Amino acid sequence: MLNRSPSGTAFDHENGKLTHTYPQCIISPSSSHTRSTPNSYKPDHESTRLTNSLKNRGKGTPRRKVKKVHKSSGADDKKLQATLKKMNVQPIQAIEEVNMFKEDGNVIHFGAPKVHASVPSNTFALYGNGEEKELTELVPGILNQLGPDSLASLRKLAESYQNMQKNQAGAEGKKDDDEDDIPDLVEGENFESNVE
């Protein structure tokens, strides 16, 4: 005789053996918990959430967000050094300063930089801290480095500087004249009441 248990198995009492196993979808009405059927329905938002969370991890791994590690500039420097080494750059000694002239009249100034060069590939590498300065700050020591283009921009800069100083002197003269003049009368104000 076969007895079916609520757990889904059949037991043969005559032979004392387990004869058949049924799927686990049989639910006992007396049990306090319920088991879902293998093809149970899940709402769309829940199933997509579970699917998305499983895409980023393997089986048995904890659910953790991936921390993105940003590459430091050191990696870029190493790549640059490797590329320069392939180009066979050689260090150039005894360079005191490097000045790069910009179109707006400013200068990028490097004091005592390390310079490496590869003449066949027309490549120069500068190592050091560059400071952006105005041309007027470097004028006494930079005159021998100026080319024809830079000399023209230096002349324009000198002319604009002179015009600016004239305008400032003229504005100061006008301020002095305004202080000596008698102020204009303002309608609706009585200055005698302020004096008393």
> What average pLDDT does range 135-149 have in this prediction?
74
Residue 120 lies in a domain: yes
Domain interval for residue 103: 84-169
Residue 58 lies in a domain: no
In this structure, what DSSP letter does residue 7 have?
A: T
Looking at residue 87, what is its pLDDT? 92
Q: What is the mean pLDDT of the chain?
A: 72
Residue 29 lies in a domain: no
pTM of the model: 0.42
Residue 139 lies in a domain: yes
Residue 75 lies in a domain: no
| CA 121/CA 142 separation, integer angstroms | 28
Looking at residue 150, what is its pLDDT? 67
Residue 165 lies in a domain: yes
Residue 183 lies in a domain: no
**What CATH number does residue 116 fall under?**
2.20.70.30
| CA 154/CA 136 separation, integer angstroms | 8
Residue 134 lies in a domain: yes
The total of structural domains in the chain comes to 1
* pLDDT over 60 at 128, yes or no: yes
Q: Which of 53, 24, 51 is nearest to 36 (CA)?
A: 24
Looking at residue 28, what is its pLDDT? 46
Q: Name the residue with higher pLDDT: 3 or 168.
A: 168
Tell me the per-residue pLDDT of 71-96, one tens digit each, with 9 for 90 and over.
666 778 888 889 999 999 999 998 99
